[in-house]
Each structure stands twice: as C-alpha cells, then as structure tokens.
Structure 1
Amino acid sequence: MQLDVEWAMQQGEDAPLLHAVDVGFGAEPPKRIGIAVSGGGDSVALLHLFARWSAQCNHPIAAVTVDHGLRPESRAEAEGVAALCQKLGVSHDILTWERPEGAGNLPAAARDGRYALMADWAKAHDIGGIAVGHTIDDGAENFIMRLGRAAGIDGLAQMVPLFERYGLCWARPLWQFHRGALRDYLLRQDVSWAEDPSNDDPRYLRTKARRLLPQLKELGVDAQSIQQSASALRMAQSALQHYTVKEAETHVKEVAGDILIPQVIVPHIPSDIERRLLVAAVQWVGSNPYPPRKEFATTLEFTLSQQQRLTVAGCLVALRKGFFHITREYNAVKDLAGPTDAVWDTRWRLHGPHAPDLEVRALGEAVSELPDWRATGLPRPTLMASPAVWRGKTLVAAPLAKYNVDWTAQIVADFTSFLLSH
C-alpha cells in the first residue's frame, strides 16, 4: 500500500475507491503506470482517482486515449481527456486506430487494436502496466453475452483483476465497483465525462445485455450475484489449470518450439484436461492472444483421420508416430522480421554476435540449401518456421538447423510457464 492510511481515512466516501487504485497493481506497482482513458465516466473516474493517488504518493503516471475514429465526436472527446489531463498535471497522448480491411466483428477488432496500440505506447514510454476502468457491471454484461455464445468455464469465469496481454501487465482496479458509484464520485469532484451514444445502440450485443440486467432482478439475478457465480467458476478454472499443468509435465514433449501430445494418454485423463492441453498448445505455438475455438479440439482426431494435417491459428497440426504434433506455420511468420537482439514471434530469443545489419526472419525454403538439415531429426516444417539470422538475402545462421554454431536460439518462456500464466 502506497497511500498514507491516515490521509486515506479522511477522504470520506472516496476512501474505498482510492484504496482500490492504491492496491490495483498489487504490493509492488510498476515504476510508471499508464491509465487508459476513453472519456467515458468509468475511465475518467479512474484517471481522476489515479491523479489524486499519484499526487499523494509521488508516483509517476501517464494517460493515453485511443481514438477509433468510428464516430465524428471521438476526436473531440479525446481532446477533452487531454484538457482534463493538463488540468490534473498528467502526461497524456492520443493514439489513432486505423480499422483494418475486412474487419468483421468491429467491436472486437477495435478492442484488440486498442490494446495493441496502448501496449506499444507503454513500451515506448517505459510504462510497466496500464490500468483500465472495467467495473462489476462490465463483468456481469460479459457473463450474459458469453452465456449466449455457449461459453464454458473459461469464458464465464470472473474477469481477473490483473492480467497480461501483448507482453504487458494490465490492471482493473475498479472491478468491484458499480458504474453508478463512479459517476457519483465524478459529481462529487465536479468532473464531467462524455457519454458514448453507441452504449445505447441496440445493434450491439453489449447494449442488449446492459438492458437485460435490470429485468433479471425479479429472479434475484444482478451484477453482484453474477459476480459471485463467476468467482466460483474462476476457482474451478484455477483447479483445472493446476491439473492441466501436472499432466503437461508428465505427458507433453516440447521439441524445438513444437509441442507433442500423445494421441492416447495412459493412464487415461479427463477429456477436458486433454482438450485444454491441445488448445493451449496451439495458442502457445501460434503466439496467439486467444485460444482457438473449443470445437477445434473435439473434432481434431476425426479431422486428421480425413487429412494428413490441419492448419489452425498459425499452426500446423499433424498426427505423427502416435503424437499430435503442433508446429508453427511458416506462412504465418514468413514476413516477420526484426533485430536479432529482440524477441522474435513472441517466443524466441537469439544469442550470438549481433550487428545492426543483421535481422531475424524465418528460415523458410533456405532449409533446402543446408545439406545436413535432416541430421537434426527435426521435421522440415519445424525448421522452415524457425528463427534464422539474415544479412539481406544472405543466410548467416540457422540455429535449429545447426548452421553456424556462433548462434543459438532459446524459447523465452516454455509451455508449462505459459500454462501457469494463462
């Protein structure tokens, strides 16, 4: 806890909210904290609370607003946040999201784009974590929407107060408070906020869930009761995660960044644990922020009986010698390039004589130029998608193919660590 206890107790109705932001990142908050502010009531309250907290604790913060450009008013709202930040003495930046072509689910595309932009902003400004203004009402709406998608335990489990995305820590300090409480706070502080008209647009599923919640009160269903159920599901999910890790340690093989899972696990394990292993393997190998759809695992064996291999979420999945073999797909990384001293494809770090004119790219078809690649015992698709060092069009090193021993490649965080963090 960073706040002075005596000062906090003197803040009356504001004290619980200030305490929430004080402990939002746990016992050791990042040295510099980012605040995601859209201009709506929830995020403006979060910003104002953190500004007071920062002034008391002398802890540096910065704010960021993503302008999605989906409404004519969005830029003015972002500039309104900038004006408030100037008044509060908080550094602020506006980021602009460009809608990708063919984005089908617009809210989902905007959300993912927003997180990616803010993560890049944070890394560029030495910010170790970003706080977002999610409330207990958001959790209840998510629960209802996911019920409609026939979500299982993972989808219905309570949103976690701390999570990782795009290599950055995110916090939801206000997850136990209602929107009404945050707006009451802003009224007490004489701070205005913007109302997004899309929140009342019946075309969006979240709007429908928001309107449905009051009608469920007659059944005793409200945000609080939903949170309690979601909390129980979160504990069940934690138990399943524990046993998934245990089975991974016993049965799963990790070879050159690939995952091998026995087609028949002996002794038999529950089908849901087996499903979790397969889904997590594809998510890890494919460097994906989200797992593949649950139908993938339930139909996998039948699909592979009809065809030699399956392409899913940036991975190749095949049956080889009694194992489900999950490999990174070359086409998913063929255009991925970066400096040799940076993590590549979120999983690989190279060690060797780095130089500014070198870059890391996938080995690709150049594997054919290496006469001894078969001696590695690794499948050709594995080597094609593996990291290699290039100087322009010249291959300098291919660590997994044992070409140029001056270079090695290591996985940053192994599969078990991934399971524990997800």
Structure 2
Amino acid sequence: MQGLRPGPAFETALAALPACLLDAPIGVAVSGGGDSLALLLLAQRWAAGRGRTLFALTVDHGLRPEARAEAEAVAALCRQLGLPHETLRLEGAAPRQASLRRGRHAALARAARQRGSRLLLTGHTADDQAETFLMRARQGSGWYGLAGMRPLSLSPVWPEGQGVFIARPLLGARREELRTFLRAEDVRWVDDPSNDNPAFERVRMRRLLCPKMSGSVQILSVMDRFQTLRMIEDAALWRWMTANIRVSEGVIEVTFLTLLPTERAARALGLLIQIAAGREVPPRGERLARLVERIVSKEDFRGATLGGCQIRPRRGRLQLASETGPPIPGIAARLAAHQAILSGNTHEIAAAAGKESFLEDLVPIF
C-alpha cells in the first residue's frame, strides 16, 4: 500500500474526524465493488495500526441473484482480514433508486447503532463528486448544492439514523487510483450491472465525464471553490443559529429571522422545518421562497404550514412544531447535530454514557 495515493488521502481524512467518533466501533459499508473494497482494505490497515474497532456491513437488496454470492465474497475477505461482517438483506425492496437508497441507509444505521457505532464509512470518490455536480446542475441546484457531498454528514434517514454520522474518506481519491491499488493487492472486485445502465441518471453523467478526464478535473476545481464558500456560509449560519434558536417542549423558537439575508434565511428556515416536522429533507422551491419573503418583509405574517410543520408568530418570535400531532421526539438532539456539522470548528463530541442518544451532549464539531 505504501506509495499509493489513496492511503495518505484516507489517513488525512480520518485524522480530521473528531476523536470521539473514532473511539467507538466504526462501520464500513462494503458492496463488493472496487471503491468499497479499497475502502475496506485501507480502513482495516488504519484500524489495526491504531487499535480501533472495525466491522463491515454489506446490503443485499434482493434484486439480483448474484448479490448473495457477492456478499459472501465480501464476508470471506473480511474473515481473511480478521474483521466482523454482516450481510443485511432487504427482501421485497421497491426497485426505485430513492427507495433503495433509503432502505440501504436505514439498514446500515440500525446495524451500526446495534453495535454501538456512531460512524459509518462509505466509499464515495472524487468521481462520484463530479457526477453529483452534473446531476445537481441539471436539476437546477444553486451554488450551495453544487459544492457536492460533505466529508462528514448525518445519516440521511430519520429516525433510524439518529446519532449516526457518515464519513467519506475517499472523496480525494479517483476511482482508477483505487482500482490500481486493488490490483497491486491482488484483490478482485465486482461491477454491478446497474453501473452501466443508462436508465440511471448517475450512469449518464458518468458517461459524459469518462471520455474527457479533463472535464472531471475542471468540475472538481469548481467544486473546491464552492466548498470553500459553503464553509463560510455554514459558519455564519451556525453562529446565527447558536444565538437565535432554542427548543422548548418539542417546539423550536426562532428570533430575528428578519436579520438574515434572504438566501440564508431560506436555508435556515428549511432546515428548521425539516427538524420540527421530523422529515428527512427540507422543503425547497417556490413555496419556501414565498414563505421567507412573507416573514422577512414588512407584511403582517400570521402563520403558515409547510413541509408538515406549523409556523406561528408569537411575541416577536417564530414557533415551529409538527402539524400532525405531538412534538417529534429527539428534536433538540437533531438540531444540535445539524449545528455541529455547520459549525466549522474542530471540537470533539462530548458523549455521555447511558444517555438515550449521545447527541444529547453534542458540542460543535467541524
């Protein structure tokens, strides 16, 4: 492994994570493809050299007859490496990308929590970043979304993913570099046929990039600049949230939303609606933009509902709560987790043993 570029990139990425996340068992999502197998080998050697606890998880969606054999091959490799491995089978999964992704993340998060893990590693690469840029650009995303995937984020599913972080330590590595690494290690990988199916948007974006590698380099250069801008924006948003938001009895209270620039106000309000309503994604688009305009303008705002959330003015503040019934459990912890991702600081996570969620005592992380 020495002398190969993925190794140093991986170790640098792991070194940037809060120590508290690395002290608990660490999960590795391994499909059997080239990216995830390279991730597995790099993670195993990193963990062995530092006395960390590692385990591997493979998700079988039950859609291809070859998937079971591929999971068994991953399990065999894990036995050679001395790592625990579990195959998570999702029988009867709907063959839609969004449903498959949600089912996969929910299964991974549940398995991680059962093992006392706070961190899952995934094998997303620089090539995945470039593809994500093109997909989001085609969908009309703004500069914030065009910054791409974060090196560290929260699990995208709720409530299964409460307390689970996703780290992507290979975002600085190219796909072909990882395959060169695997060839040097004499490790074979499998290629999922869906990766060549043009019915999927990501495959079409990949084909646009493959003929000209320079195109990927240019996109990644642009994304790097957007990521710098996003760090600045996130830090500003975190400072505002720290000073102007509190949670009381499952209700989020907001002050001084009118002091924010319109774009930042929309980003903040969308995130708070997502948390208060217990949703997995924030509302976007024209409805959110119109709601923000009503709130920040001099118009007499008397309340609204959006994204399953009820927004009401009260004594100079906004109150946000679920419109469907009792308060969503875990709101304070989830808000703290999102603030931690936005913070831009490198403080460790303070975890109190025995708490319902370690996020109850979360302090800002990078």
TM-score, normalising length: structure 1 = 0.69
**Offset of residue 255 of structure 1:** 4.4
1:419 aligns with 2:331: no
Which residue number corresponds to residue 242 of structure 1?
Answer: 235
* Partners of 2:242 and 2:52 in 1: CA distance: 41
* 1:73-93 C-alpha deviation (Å, 9 max, x unpaired): 222211111121122221100
Q: Point out where structure 1 has 5 or more consecutive residues left out of the alignment.
A: 1-10, 335-343, 348-410
1:202 aligns with 2:202: no
Where does 1:147-166 land on structure 2 (aligned, <5 Å)? Answer: 147-165=137-155, 166=161
Which residue number corresponds to residue 180 of structure 2?
Answer: 184
Which residue number corresponds to residue 324 of structure 2?
Answer: 330
The structure with the larger Rg is 1
Relative to structure 1, the CA distance from residue 19 to residue 275 in structure 2 (aligned partners, 3 Å threshold; closer, same or farther) is: same
1:116 aligns with 2:112: no
Where does 1:56-205 land on structure 2 (aligned, <5 Å)? Answer: 56-98=49-91, 106-165=96-155, 166=161, 167-205=163-201
Where does 1:259-278 land on structure 2 (aligned, <5 Å)? Answer: 259-261=252-254, 265=258, 269-278=260-269
Of 269, 273, 277, the residue aligned with 1:286 is 277
* Partners of 2:58 and 2:197 in 1: CA distance: 22
Range with greater deviation from structure 2 (184-193 or 293-302):
293-302
Of 40, 63, 81, the residue aligned with 2:33 is 40
For residue 62 of structure 2, give the secondary structure of its aligned residue in structure 1: coil
TM-score, normalising length: structure 2 = 0.79
Of 171, 196, 209, the residue aligned with 1:213 is 209
Of 303, 311, 317, the residue aligned with 2:311 is 317
Identity among equivalent pairs (%): 34
* Partners of 1:246 and 1:58 in 2: CA distance: 36
Which residue number corresponds to residue 250 of structure 2?
Answer: 257
**Offset of residue 49 of structure 1:** 2.1
* Partners of 1:186 and 1:173 in 2: CA distance: 17
With a CA cutoff of 8 Å and minimum separation of 6, indicate the structure with the bigger relative contact order. Answer: 2
* Partners of 2:73 and 2:148 in 1: CA distance: 32
**Offset of residue 207 of structure 1:** 0.4
Of 325, 329, 332, the residue aligned with 1:345 is 329
* Partners of 1:126 and 1:212 in 2: CA distance: 41
Residue pair 1:316, 1:328 contacting (<8 A) in 2 also: yes
* 1:110-168 C-alpha deviation (Å, 9 max, x unpaired): 12221221111111112232211111000000010000111113311142222222221
**Offset of residue 196 of structure 1:** 0.3
1:230 aligns with 2:150: no
* 1:159-217 C-alpha deviation (Å, 9 max, x unpaired): 22222222212221211111111111111111111110000001000000000013455
For residue 236 of structure 1, give the secondary structure of its aligned residue in structure 2: helix
Counterpart amino acid of residue 32 in structure 2: G
For residue 120 of structure 2, give the secondary structure of its aligned residue in structure 1: strand
* Partners of 1:124 and 1:250 in 2: CA distance: 35
Counterpart amino acid of residue 346 in structure 1: G
Relative to structure 1, the CA distance from residue 184 to residue 239 in structure 2 (aligned partners, 3 Å threshold; closer, same or farther) is: same
Which residue number corresponds to residue 368 of structure 1?
Answer: none
Residue pair 1:245, 1:416 contacting (<8 A) in 2 also: no
Relative to structure 1, the CA distance from residue 12 to residue 264 in structure 2 (aligned partners, 3 Å threshold; closer, same or farther) is: closer
* Partners of 2:46 and 2:241 in 1: CA distance: 43
Relative to structure 1, the CA distance from residue 292 to residue 53 in structure 2 (aligned partners, 3 Å threshold; closer, same or farther) is: same
Residue pair 2:262, 2:292 contacting (<8 A) in 1 also: no
For residue 45 of structure 1, give the secondary structure of its aligned residue in structure 2: helix
Relative to structure 1, the CA distance from residue 248 to residue 179 in structure 2 (aligned partners, 3 Å threshold; closer, same or farther) is: closer
* Partners of 2:117 and 2:185 in 1: CA distance: 27
Residue pair 1:34, 1:131 contacting (<8 A) in 2 also: yes
For residue 221 of structure 1, give the secondary structure of its aligned residue in structure 2: helix
Residue pair 1:34, 1:130 contacting (<8 A) in 2 also: yes
Counterpart amino acid of residue 330 in structure 2: T
Counterpart amino acid of residue 240 in structure 1: E
Residue pair 1:280, 1:419 contacting (<8 A) in 2 also: no
Over the aligned positions, Cα root-mean-square deviation in angstroms equals 3.0
Aligned residues: 328
**Offset of residue 321 of structure 1:** 6.7
Residue pair 2:152, 2:341 contacting (<8 A) in 1 also: no
Which residue number corresponds to residue 357 of structure 2?
Answer: none
For residue 13 of structure 2, give the secondary structure of its aligned residue in structure 1: coil
* Partners of 1:127 and 1:247 in 2: CA distance: 31
Residue pair 2:257, 2:265 contacting (<8 A) in 1 also: no
Q: Point out where structure 2 has 5 or more consecutive residues left out of the alignment.
A: 156-160, 343-366
Residue pair 1:133, 1:173 contacting (<8 A) in 2 also: yes
